């Protein structure tokens, strides 16, 4: 059932049917009613892509993340999808994994689908070496990086300043934590991970705290790994008086280790995930403001599609959400 069938059944031209579809004003009410009625009767559904072909816009945005099963990404995807849908855009979702080759393939697929824009979620898309695939995509359409930064022409970055977040946190905790511990997720190199780590180091420096080899612990991204790490430190008598983690999951591991040893210390995680309310005591955490970043990115996209020029980088400040494991004094 296509526009021609409807036109025939109504004894009008396809143009008239098309006008009805697009709510064009210059159709007589009578004709409009007839066309609408027949459409309803026949259960007609217009073909969005046939339309898109001519209009050169599929009203579709490609969202890419490494793995939408990861709560951080799924949150971002949910927020982006919602904002986009509200503006009449559909979401083509690609979980790319972390292999460069697969990420490249995702971008190619999206370009073939002629999406109106691409949003890459997470700093997994900042390669250390080769970012030409991103550059190439950005030459064809608006490309946004969510919570990541890349100095490429035509790439817009909307992110939370995580270096600053951790830096300020160290400073803020300094009165209570003279020898803080930083749990660094080393599962996979990531730009964001490096930023946070740098924030911690800068914080140590600016707060005039001791920086020795034990201050930063590299662990795998999992509760158990963090827990074992912290227990190991305790067993070896390595002292610390507070924990900052690059991920809530790691903070949970630290909390478990400390609780097991009957020790209570300030702990702050990162991402402000649902885990924070699940521990005892509940976990304080840095919120990277996805709920603000994502709608902002969509707004910027719309303006860009409308022809307005937009800033290349927008960065917002993280916010500490205080729960039981740490409160600023």
Partner DNA sequence: TTGAAAGCGCTAACAA
Partner DNA sequence: TTGTTAGCGCTTTCAA
Point out which residues bind DNA (CB under 7 A). Answer: 2-4, 11-16, 18-19, 21-22, 25-28, 30-31, 46-47, 50-51, 53-56
Q: Are 160 and 137 in contact (CB under 8 A)?
A: no
Cα gap 205→116, rounded to integer Å:
45
**Residue closest to 73 by CA, chosen among 144, 134, 122:** 122
Closer residue to DNA, CB minimum distance, 55 or 213: 55
Position among 212, 280, 306, 309 found at the interface with a copy of itself (CB under 8 A): 280
Per CB under 8 A, does 15 bind a copy of itself? Answer: no
- If one asks whether residue 175 binds a copy of itself (CB under 8 A), the answer comes out as no
Q: Give the dihedral sign, CA 253/256/262/263.
A: positive
Could you tell me whether strands 319-321 and 60-65 are parallel, antiparallel, or unpaired per DSSP bridges? unpaired
Contact 281, 323 (CB under 8 A): yes
When asked if residue 79 is in the footprint of a copy of itself (CB under 8 A), the reply is: yes
Query: Would you give the distance in Å from CA 42 to the centre of its chain?
Result: 42
Interface positions, 200-229, toward a copy of itself (CB under 8 A): 223-224
306 binds a copy of itself (CB under 8 A): no
DSSP string, 60-123: EEEEEES-TTSHHHHHHHHHHHHHHHHTT-EEEEEE--S-HHHHHHHHHHHHHTT-SEEEEESG
Among 264, 278, 312, 328, binds a copy of itself (CB under 8 A): 278
**Which residue in 23, 112, 153, 308 binds a copy of itself (CB under 8 A)?**
112
28 binds, among a copy of itself, DNA, none (CB under 5 to 8 A by kind): DNA
Tell me, residue by residue from 120 to 159, as one string, x for binding to a copy of itself by CB under 8 A and - for no binding: ----------------x---x-------------------
Is 49 a residue that touches a copy of itself (CB under 8 A)? yes
Q: Establish if 71 lies at the interface with a copy of itself (CB under 8 A).
A: yes
Residue 109 touches a copy of itself, criterion: CB under 8 A: yes
Q: Is residue 281 reached through a cis peptide bond, with omega within 30 degrees of 0 on the bond before it?
A: yes
Q: Rule CB under 8 A: which of 80-99 touch a copy of itself?
A: 81-82, 85, 90-95
Burial track 10-23 (b if 16+ CB lie within 10 A, e otherwise): bebeeebbbbbbee
Tokens of residue 135, six digits: 């550059």
Tell me how many residues contact a copy of itself (CB under 8 A). Answer: 51
37 binds, among a copy of itself, DNA, none (CB under 5 to 8 A by kind): none
DSSP symbols for 240-304:
-S-EEESSHHHHHHHHHHHHHTT----EEEES--GGGGTSSSPPEEEE--HHHHHHHHHHHHHHH
List interacting residues with a copy of itself (CB under 8 A). Answer: 43, 45-50, 52-53, 58, 60, 63, 67-69, 71, 74-75, 77-79, 81-82, 85, 90-95, 108-109, 111-114, 136, 140, 223-224, 249, 252, 256, 259-260, 274-275, 277-280
């Amino acid at each position: 059932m296509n526009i021609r069938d409807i036109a025939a059944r109504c004894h009008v031209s396809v143009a008239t049917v098309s006008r009805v579809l697009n709510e064009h004003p210059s159709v007589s009410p009578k004709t409009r009613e007839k066309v609408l009625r027949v459409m309803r009767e026949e259960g007609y559904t217009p073909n969005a892509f046939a339309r898109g072909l001519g209009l050169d816009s599929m009203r579709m945005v490609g969202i890419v993340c490494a793995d939408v099963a990861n709560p951080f990404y799924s949150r971002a995807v949910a927020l982006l999808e919602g904002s986009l849908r509200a503006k009449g855009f559909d979401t083509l979702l690609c979980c790319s994994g972390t292999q460069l080759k697969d990420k490249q393939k995702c971008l190619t697929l999206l370009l073939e689908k002629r999406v109106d824009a691409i949003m890459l979620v997470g700093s997994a898309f900042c390669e250390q070496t080769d970012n030409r695939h991103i550059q190439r995509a950005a030459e064809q359409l608006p490309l946004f990086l969510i919570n990541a930064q890349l100095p490429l022409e035509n790439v817009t970055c909307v992110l939370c300043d995580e270096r600053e977040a951790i830096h300020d946190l160290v400073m803020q905790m300094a009165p209570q934590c003279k020898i803080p511990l930083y749990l660094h997720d080393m599962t996979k190199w990531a730009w964001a991970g490096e930023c946070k780590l740098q924030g911690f180091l800068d914080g140590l420096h600016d707060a005039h705290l001791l920086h020795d080899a034990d201050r930063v612990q590299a662990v795998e991204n999992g509760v158990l790994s963090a827990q074992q790490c912290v227990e190991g430190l305790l067993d070896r008598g390595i002292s610390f008086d507070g924990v900052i983690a690059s991920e809530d999951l790691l903070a949970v591991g630290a909390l478990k280790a400390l609780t097991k040893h009957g020790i209570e210390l300030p702990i702050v995680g990162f991402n402000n995930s649902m885990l924070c309310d699940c521990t005892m005591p509940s976990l304080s955490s840095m919120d990277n403001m996805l709920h603000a970043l994502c709608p902002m990115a969509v707004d910027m996209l719309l303006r860009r599609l409308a022809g307005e020029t937009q800033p290349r980088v927008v960065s917002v400040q993280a916010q500490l959400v205080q729960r039981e494991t740490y409160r600023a004094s």
